[in-house]
Chain A
Amino acid sequence: MRTNVYLPKLAKVISVKEEVGGVRSIKTFRTQFLDGGFTHKCGQCAMLSIFGKGESMISISSSPLVKDYLQFSILKMGRVTSAIHDLEVGSIIGIRGPYGNAFPIESWKGKNILFAGGGIGLAPIWSVLQTTLLRKKDYGDLTLIYGARTSPDIVFKEELADLKSKMKVHLSIDVAEPEWKEFVGFVAQNILDKKPSPENTIAITCGPPIMIKTCIKALSEIGFKDDQIYTTVENKMKCGIGKCGRCNIGRHYVCKDGPVYSWAELRQLPQEY
């Protein structure tokens, strides 16, 4: 059967959860395709359509091992994401994809994995985290270092609480709050504080550009090699298939050749992200 790459499949929103309220609101959506669907890999993205408003590339935060829905956690940012935030259970949206490369988690078997995320940056790595948790026996120690600006800005609050019984979780917020018992400071500072061992470990870092930069610096400082560090990059996208020409970093189209890069690869590319 011929497939038209630009024609989205229709999907229904089956749950909406507000993770963070306020101006920089974040919501998590679960969707089910009306007809057919696709399977994705950890780290891949999908193009969500709100008809009449346009499309937006969003990373899939659910694990490929979960078959009955796709999950997206979305920060309200512009025209399309605002429209997505207006969705309710039962709303119909368009989805096409999956797009981009994936985290090479098969090749990480037997290794420890360190997840370092900030803000909405937990979404792209959530899929890896969930998958590795489901196949815990294939991997070594799993550690999450996650931070947000303030405690209300933390995403997946319930899941994180639950996670603490399954893996090491280190949380942080940027500025001290009275009730806060954990680390105060940026994620990178938390990394330096906790000093996870680079031994047989892969680090995945994801978050705002400045956070990624400082985290990579911190990780390098504590001994992680460039090829042990993975991150994801986002650029403005339209087609999702490397044709429309806007998301490139050098010869790479982030939508097709990215969004997952090891720091060893990424540092070779021009600074255009």
Chain B
Amino acid sequence: MDKILAKKDFPRWLEALGAYDVYAPQLIDDVWNYELATDRKAVSLDYPQTAIPAKKIVFPQREFFFEFREADTDDYKLKELLPEGKPTVIFGVRACEGKAVTLTDLVFGGEIADDYYWKRRNAAVLVGLACASPPSTNCFCLSVNGSPHSKEGLDVLMTDLGDQYYVEILTDKGKKLVSEGGAIFHEAKPPDKKAAEKIHADSEKKLARELKNIKDVPAKLKGMFASPFWDDESMSCIRCGICTYLCPTCHCFDINDEVESQTPLAGRRVRTWDTCQFPDFTMHSSGHNPRPDKAARLRQRINHKFQYFVEVWQNYQCTGCGRCITLCPVGIDIIKVVEKVRDHAN
């Protein structure tokens, strides 16, 4: 049953979550980001879009796989460094990011599941906040099978009703989280539900951007692999990693050994984010690079999101958050690029 939480009681809920690490959007030096809330009373959900999406909490930019240590000459001890999986709750997750996590789940799940990811993922409770108005000027979630109030991937969805939140419990994890708050939650009444639904419906009309008629794009892309289109489109790309690092669905990573001591050899195998936009991402050690230029790399990004992922998982690997557009230093606009693909004469 849906609940109502008065805004003044929101801090009390957070106080009650003592067993959890609580992440919430915070403003630091003019930049919003999900940060560990050390002062839970100060948490407010009045924020636009964060720079780095919530994926960083379930898929941190750096994590340890294991530690290696030379035990004796030419013998090693390996110590697995799985995350402990401390219960974590992320407040204020936008619908597009919740959905993005479901897409990442697909990648890290399957037959060969990624323990490191799942340890954090399973421990994380995602409390969404429906967007009453688009948090970014470049939001286009509706165009990519999302919505400003999508419940996908979320455990709880909150909707701001002015001085109270409309709280929808979506999963068992969510239920437990709400139950921690105890009596501060009240049963929602039909007018509340109506109000929430109205906000949801209105929000859909407020989206600033859209990307229409893209169902043929995957097929179109297939035929455009060798097109000079990519050269033209990528001219202004500076080959930085902003678009992918800040993308809620991008999940590419690198694995490296970080050595702490040479004798005895000791160090850690570390996973860090990586991006298809860096030239060394695909470079063979022979120097051969299957994606030798930025045209090939832009093509990979668009193809991955709008063709390959669709072929494998029947969904766009883009949730329309618009971060890559907002933060691209040279204004490369994924909407424009995909529209051009759509309108491209084969």
Contacts and interface: CB of A to CB of B under 8 A. Distances in A.
- A and B, direct touch (CB closer than 8 Å): yes
B48 interface: no
A168 interface: no
B257 A246 contact: no
Nearest 8 pairs between A and B by C-beta?
Answer: A78-B285, A245-B252, A251-B308, A51-B68, A251-B311, A272-B290, A241-B112, A6-B65
B130 to A, nearest CB: 31
Question: In which size bucket is the chain B interface?
Answer: 35 or more
Given A51-B68, A239-B253, A243-B251, 5 more contacts: A51-B265, A236-B283, A241-B114, A246-B276, A251-B307
A19 B68 CA distance: 31
Interface string A9-26: 010000000000000000
A140 interface: no
A55 B255 CA distance: 8
Contacts, number: 116
Contacts of B286: 77-78
B281 A54 contact: no
A5 B267 contact: no
A94 B253 contact: no
B107 interface: yes
Interface string B265-278: 10101010010100
A223 interface: no
Interface of A: 2, 4-8, 10, 49, 51-55, 77-81, 90-92, 94, 209, 234-236, 238-239, 241-251, 270-273
A54 B282 contact: no
A238 B255 contact: yes
12 contacts: A4-B115, A10-B78, A52-B265, A54-B257, A77-B286, A238-B253, A238-B274, A244-B255, A245-B252, A245-B276, A246-B281, A251-B311
Given A209-B288, A235-B282, A251-B308, A8 B78 contact: yes
Given A4-B115, A7-B80, A235-B284, A273 B257 contact: no
Contacts of A209: 288
Interface string B232-271: 0000000000000000000111111101001001010101
Nearest to A10: B76
